[in-house]
Amino acid sequence: MKILHSEPSCDGFRMPAEFSRHYGCIMIWPHRRDSWQYGAYEARKAFAEVIKVIAKSEKVIVCARYDDYDSARSMLPDNVRIIEMESDDSWARDVAPTFVTNGSVIRGIDWGFNAWGGLKDGLYFPWDKDNKMARKLCDSLDADCYDQRDFILEGGSIHTDGEGTLLTTEACLLSKGRNPDLSKEEIEEKLKKTLGIQKIIWLKCGIYNDETNEHIDNICAFTAPGEVVLAWTDDTDDPQYAMSKSCLDILENTTDAKGRPIKVHKLPLPKPVCITQKECDGLDDLNGEPTRIPGERLAASYVNFYIANHSVICPQFGDDNDQQAIAILSRLFPDREVVGIQARDILIGGGNIHCITQQIPFFD
Known catalytic residues are 355
Q: Which of 351, 358, 359, 360 binds ligand KQY (CB under 6 A)?
A: 351
Q: Please say which residue, 116 or 202, places its beta carbon nearer to ligand KQY.
A: 116
Q: Which of 18, 29, 31, 35 binds ligand KQY (CB under 6 A)?
A: 35
Q: Please say which residue, 340 or 349, places its beta carbon nearer to ligand KQY.
A: 349
| 306 vs 50: CA distance, rounded Å | 9
Q: Please say which residue, 63 or 123, places its beta carbon nearer to ligand KQY.
A: 123
Q: Which of 8, 24, 108, 350 binds ligand KQY (CB under 6 A)?
A: 350
Q: Please say which residue, 4 or 54, places its beta carbon nearer to ligand KQY.
A: 54
Residue type, 63: C
| 270 vs 318: CA distance, rounded Å | 9
Could you tell me which stretch among 16-24, 88-96, 198-206, 247-255 binds ligand KQY (CB under 6 A)? 88-96
> Shortest distance, CB of residue 154 to ligand KQY, whole angstroms?
6
> Shortest distance, CB of residue 77 to ligand KQY, whole angstroms?
25
Could you tell me which stretch among 52-60, 90-98, 200-208, 265-273 binds ligand KQY (CB under 6 A)? 90-98
Which residues from 149-168 bind ligand KQY, rule CB under 6 A? 156
> Shortest distance, CB of residue 156 to ligand KQY, whole angstroms?
3
Q: Please say which residue, 113 or 202, places its beta carbon nearer to ligand KQY.
A: 113
Angle made by CA atoms 20, 60, 269, in degrees to the nearest 5: 65
> Shortest distance, CB of residue 238 to ligand KQY, whole angstroms?
20
Could you tell me which stretch among 142-150, 179-187, 272-280, 350-358 binds ligand KQY (CB under 6 A)? 350-358
**Site track for ligand KQY across 93-122, x = CB under 6 A:** xx----------------------------
> Shortest distance, CB of residue 98 to ligand KQY, whole angstroms?
13
Q: Which of 9, 212, 233, 358 binds ligand KQY (CB under 6 A)?
A: 212
Closest alpha carbon to 167 in 136, 192, 202: 202
Which residues from 215-234 bind ligand KQY, rule CB under 6 A? 215
Number of residues that bind ligand KQY (CB under 6 A): 13
Q: Does 211 bind ligand KQY (CB under 6 A)?
A: yes
| 291 vs 277: CA distance, rounded Å | 12
Q: Which of 91, 111, 113, 306 binds ligand KQY (CB under 6 A)?
A: 91
Angstrom distances, CA of residue 168 to CA of 134, 158, 161, 250: 21, 5, 12, 12
Q: Please say which residue, 1 or 286, places its beta carbon nearer to ligand KQY.
A: 286
Contact 168/175 with Cβ under 8 angstroms?
no
> CB-hemisphere CA count at 13 Å for 200?
24
Closest alpha carbon to 2 in 155, 129, 107, 148: 107
Residues that bind ligand KQY (CB under 6 A): 35, 91, 93-94, 123, 156, 211-212, 215, 349-351, 355
